[in-house]
Amino acid sequence: MYKVIASYVAQVPRMLAYIPRIFMGKFSPQESICIGQCCANLRLLFIFVLAFTGAVSAQEAVRVPAQPDISAEESNVSPAELKKLPFESLVDIEITSASRRPEPLSQASSAVDVITGDEIERAGATNIPDALRLGTEMQVAQIDGHTWAISTRGFNISTANKMQVLMDGRSLYTPLFSGVFWDVQQTFLADLAQIEIIRGPGATLWGANAVNGVINIITKSAKDTQGLLIEGGGGDELEGFGGVRYGGQIGKDTYYRAYVMHQSRDSLNLEGDGDAHDGTDFTQGGFRIDSELSSEDLLTLQGDAYSGGFGQLNAPDITVDGQDVIGRWTRQLDKDSSFMVQAYFDRTHRLIPDVFEEERNTFDLELQRRFLIGQHDVLVGGNYRLSSDNIGNLGPTLAFIPDRETVHLVSGYVQDEWHIVPDRFFVTVGSKFEYNTFSGFEYQPTGRFTWILPEEQTIWGAISRAVRTPTRIDQDFVAPNPSTGGPPLLVANPDFGSEVLLAYELGYRIKRSDTLSIDVAGYYNDYSNLRSVEPTGAGAFPVTLGNKLEGTSYGGAVSVKWHVTDWWQINGGVSALQIDFHRTAGSRDISNGSTEGNDPNWSLVAHSMLDLPGHVKFDTVLRAVGELPNPETPSYFTVDLRVAWSPIKNLEFAMVGRDLLDNEHPEFRQTMVTREVGRSFFATVKWSY
């Protein structure tokens, strides 16, 4: 059977070579015969796989072998070992984002996705936004060569502002607009351990702006990245990329790694025709040191530096650079008791010629303590953050006034997980309390429950309050009217307040045998004080930003992890979303929420990972996204393919095809100029020693 399958899979690279010409309709009669033979063989491959899968499933139904019991503590293994674990441990993989402490995924009282480093590699992802496309309910749309709109559960725009994003404990959102500059959020992808995505509010532990979700990007320990790794490649759209990482050891218990990477991407095409001239060049390097000072103490020090340029249509290139350093000391007092102190410094600089320049310096200090009192698992912590900016108002069309500002954030949180019935029923209550320069005091409580049923089933629910606090763009942004010299188009509103969410969630998880897990989650969100665009006088202009919109959203998602056999795994999810905005009394909002989000009503993602004989891996990612309403953007369905081969240990060659089902399509239209994402191919080589 394996030999038959291998012979048919060998047809795949040949078929990939024909794909561009198939869609253009340009091939000779002889090539047409070859294509027909390839398609017939691939159909037979599919039939063989289904038949073999059915036979294996029938055998498993008669006799399921006993599997070792893996506790939550034992599941804290390196990503390299992760792939070797039995499937039930993968379903119960350890996460930290939902409760800021290690816990099995099955017991989390939140809708959580875990995207492992291996899944990211096998999907052919080359940056963080592409990796996030694998998440259920994740709305990821590429706007131009370096700009993405990324959110979950709605409110997706280029400056989406209702998600908290972290990398190894460092917050990535900017007080400029409460969103993320995704074009500079990068790391050496081979060092990624996993990305944990909380779909739904996480503000009680992660603070303001964790309204619709939290993304926690976690890199591997230096201990798990020893030796030399070199990778590189290129293609048509991803013109060239490469990276080198080396890890070593100092003494008995101190490990380190250092890396440098570079990417060059070609520009996208304009909708209709023409080059968007938005190509990118980006270089980044960094290091990490992990020192086991004792059996109880772990010290981590890591940092990064980057520099790059992003093209613009009919304008000079955008230039960026930045540096960050983070230190963390963790003391494990006993199994369920720990103390952590962390500090980081982050500097960013962005120049958009003739428009805008920002230099920002951020310092953050955080402490956290976990302890048990009887059946109560208590977590307390606090942090202080200072962020200062220097903004250059370079053009006549927009300005931040004042051009320099220092903002402060002081917060504390407490959370109690009460094990009312140990190992069966937990209730969690807690709140975040914080003071910020823009809106003053805020509170963000939550109440949650987890009910573990027989036959490996879990029911969970939550009620939470979260806020999106104001930023510079809400309170200090103005738009003069240089064309006429008249009144400004947009005036500042120093009284802009926080947007508020009250969220209701309910979820269900089940693991059937040791090969299949299903996760279902639904929610109802009630938003108030949403950002509106209000005329200040009798005419249409000037306008100011107010808090006179309300909205509701509801929806849900189903995600599945299925180990079809020990050499074939399928992950996937489907989601639905409905959002409604309306004005409050006295509002004259001219947008009715259209400027706050452009979201599909449904989306689907499926990732197939097939391990074949001859050290061949065949991976497929299917993505489908519904149409966007404003500006109207058509729905699309696309397929990515990756074929990898390891002729010898520690050496791998791969071919990747992205967006294969059409020449190009827009993912997020803009009112003025729209770019299209096109079919692309690239090859990679990776060697480790």
Q: Is the pLDDT of residue 49 over 70?
A: no
Whether residue 236 contacts residue 266, with contact meaning beta carbons closer than 8 Å, is answered with yes
Q: Is the pLDDT of residue 54 over 60?
A: no
pLDDT, greater one: 66 or 158: 158
- What is the distance between the alpha carbons of residues 482 and 396, in angstroms, rounded to a whole number? 6
Using pLDDT thresholds of 50, 70 and 90, give the confidence band for residue 34: low
Gyration radius (Cα) of the chain, Å: 25
* Residue ranges of domains in the chain: 1-63, 193-688
- What is the distance between the alpha carbons of residues 492 and 472, in angstroms, rounded to a whole number? 10
Secondary structure (3-state) at 217: strand
**Residue 191 per-residue DSSP state:** G
What is the residue type of 531?
R
- What is the distance of C-alpha 520 from the center of its chain? 20
* Largest distance between two CA atoms of the chain: 82
Residue 74 in tokens: 């034992």
Mean pLDDT of 103-121: 93
How confident is the model at residue 79, as a pLDDT? 45
How confident is the model at residue 521, as a pLDDT? 97
Residue 155: partners with Cβ closer than 8 Å, 6 or more residues away: 161, 162, 212, 579, 596, 597, 599
Classify residue 39 as exposed, middle or buried by CB count within 10 Å of its CB (0-12, 13-18, 19+): middle
Q: Which of 92-96, 476-480, 517-521 has the lowest mean pLDDT?
A: 92-96
How confident is the model at residue 514, as a pLDDT? 77
Q: Hey, which CATH number is domain 193-688, 2.60.120.590, 2.40.170.20, 2.40.160.10, 3.40.50.10470?
A: 2.40.170.20
Residue 661: partners with Cβ closer than 8 Å, 6 or more residues away: 23, 637, 638, 639
Average pLDDT across the chain, whole number: 88
Using pLDDT thresholds of 50, 70 and 90, give the confidence band for residue 646: very high
Whether residue 37 contacts residue 14, with contact meaning beta carbons closer than 8 Å, is answered with no
Secondary structure (3-state) at 682: strand
pLDDT tens digits for range 511-561: 887 789 999 999 999 999 999 999 998 888 899 999 999 999 999 999 999
Using pLDDT thresholds of 50, 70 and 90, give the confidence band for residue 87: very low
Q: Is the bond leading into 542 cis (omega within 30 degrees of zero)?
A: yes
Q: Is the pLDDT of residue 376 over 90?
A: yes
- What is the distance between the alpha carbons of residues 668 and 314, in angstroms, rounded to a whole number? 20
How confident is the model at residue 33, as a pLDDT? 52
- What is the distance between the alpha carbons of residues 222 and 71, in angstroms, rounded to a whole number? 24
Answer whether 0.85 is exceeded by the pTM: yes
